[in-house]
């Protein structure tokens, strides 16, 4: 059966680093001094140093939405207003990521499928059409949108790509597996609200993940040594839970922790940033395991090896 290979990853972020500005803005919204102190302690423990946004905090670029004008205390933008900004800014970010791939004319001519996953916003015709236009692909190119799946969405997109490749002859990913955590269905939820997306994350999630990893360590490793780990950095406590549950050495999740520090949790795209770092230093023959957690709570696992 045809094998599926992950040849190249191109990542991109918006240009505005708003982490410090966001932290100060969020702290100022908390009137209770005790709540503000708790928030500041959580920020210090998060290990996040940078976050990027298409909104600017300085107000110097007339073509870029101003964060403080967009998010006014007591007058937060509606879901419709947020989606309008997304429709304006998302194609710019898509073009930057595609430029990083540096696809030649011959490579573009062999593209038959485009799979898009997004957890930030939606519109139609959407990013799938944008990609066809940017790459100059024919309108007959098959398009698939994987939406509203949260932090493990990229893993499901890779899984779908593998199915397509294996079902169409000629079209390094070995296997995928989904593992739901018992009694955790409502611990991570995500719903559309009138003022954006309403998300809930239980404080019990890390403990459940650690328990599940410990109980299923052999299955996660699929009975072989794992040299490369690409774990979605949903937060420092999530990485700590995976590390302790699987009894990993301190250096095992270094790439995940570096991405968390540099970008924060950027939902479904985050694991691709980790995989990019892993691929850049992987040696031929090394076995790898990528993992993301999301609503449910469920773990999406991808096993691979480097060539």
- As a three-state string, the secondary structure of 250-307 is CCCCHHHHHHHHHHCCCHHHHHHHHHHHHHHHCCCCCEEEEEEEECCCEEEEEEEECC
1: pLDDT strictly greater than 70: no
- Tell me how far apart the alpha carbons of residues 165 and 103 are, in angstroms, rounded to a whole number: 19
* CATH code assigned to 16-172: 3.40.47.10
CB of 120 closer than 8 Å to CB of 90 = yes
Task: Give the DSSP H or E segment for 1.
Answer: none
Q: What is the pLDDT of residue 59?
A: 72
Question: Taking the complete model, does pTM exceed 0.95, yes or no?
Answer: no
The Cα–Cα gap between 228 and 226 comes to 6
What's residue 223's pLDDT? 86
Quickly list H helices, the chain.
19-28, 33-45, 67-70, 79-101, 105-109, 127-135, 153-167, 205-215, 217-221, 236-245, 254-263, 270-281
Confidence of residue 271 (pLDDT cuts 50, 70, 90): very high
User: Is residue 62 exposed (0-12), middle (13-18) or buried (19+ Cβ within 10 Å)?
Assistant: exposed
pLDDT digits (tens, 9 = 90+) for 224-246: 999 999 999 999 999 999 999 99
pLDDT at 264: 95
Q: How much is the pLDDT for 297? A: 85
Tally of CB atoms within 10 A around 123: 11
12/67 Cα distance (integer angstroms): 20
The rounded distance, in Å, linking the Cα atoms of 169 and 203 is 46
Check whether 222 has a pLDDT greater than 70.
Answer: yes
Determine how many CB atoms are found less than 10 A away from the CB of residue 121. Answer: 19
CA distance 177 to 216: 12
Distance of alpha carbon 153 from alpha carbon 148, whole angstroms: 8
CATH homologous superfamily of domain 174-305?
A: Thiolase/Chalcone synthase (3.40.47.10)
Pinpoint the residues of the chain covered by CATH 3.40.47.10. Answer: 16-172, 174-305
Assign 193 to helix, strand or coil.
strand
CA angle 6, 146, 2 (to 5 degrees): 35
């Amino acid at each position: 059966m045809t094998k599926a290979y992950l040849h190249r990853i191109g990542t991109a972020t918006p240009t505005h680093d708003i982490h410090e500005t966001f932290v100060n803005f969020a702290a100022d919204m908390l009137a209770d001094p005790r709540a503000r102190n708790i928030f500041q302690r959580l920020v210090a423990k998060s290990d996040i140093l940078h976050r990027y946004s298409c909104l600017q905090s300085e107000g110097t670029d007339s073509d870029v939405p101003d964060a403080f004008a967009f998010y006014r205390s007591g007058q937060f933008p509606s879901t419709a207003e947020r989606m309008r900004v997304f429709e304006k800014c998302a194609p710019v970010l898509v073009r930057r990521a595609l430029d990083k791939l540096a696809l030649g004319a011959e490579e573009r001519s062999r593209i038959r499928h485009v799979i898009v996953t997004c957890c930030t916003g939606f519109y139609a015709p959407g990013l799938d059409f944008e990609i066809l236009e940017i790459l100059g692909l024919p309108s007959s190119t098959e398009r698939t949108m994987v939406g509203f799946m949260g932090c493990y969405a990229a893993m499901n997109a890779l899984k779908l790509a593998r199915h397509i490749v294996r079902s169409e002859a000629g079209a390094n990913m070995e296997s995928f597996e989904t593992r739901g955590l018992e009694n955790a269905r409502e611990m991570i939820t995500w719903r559309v609200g009138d003022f954006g997306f309403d998300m809930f994350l239980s404080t019990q999630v890390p403990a459940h993940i650690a328990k599940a990893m410990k109980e299923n360590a052999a299955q996660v490793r699929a009975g072989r040594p794992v040299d490369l780990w690409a774990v979605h950095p949903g937060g420092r406590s999530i990485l700590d839970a995976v590390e302790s549950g699987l009894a990993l050495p301190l250096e095992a999740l270094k790439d995940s922790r570096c991405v968390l520090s540099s970008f924060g949790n950027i939902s479904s795209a985050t694991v691709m940033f980790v995989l990019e770092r892993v691929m850049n230093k992987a040696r031929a023959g090394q076995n790898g395991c990528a993992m993301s957690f999301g609503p449910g709570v469920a773990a999406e696992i991808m096993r691979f090896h480097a060539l």
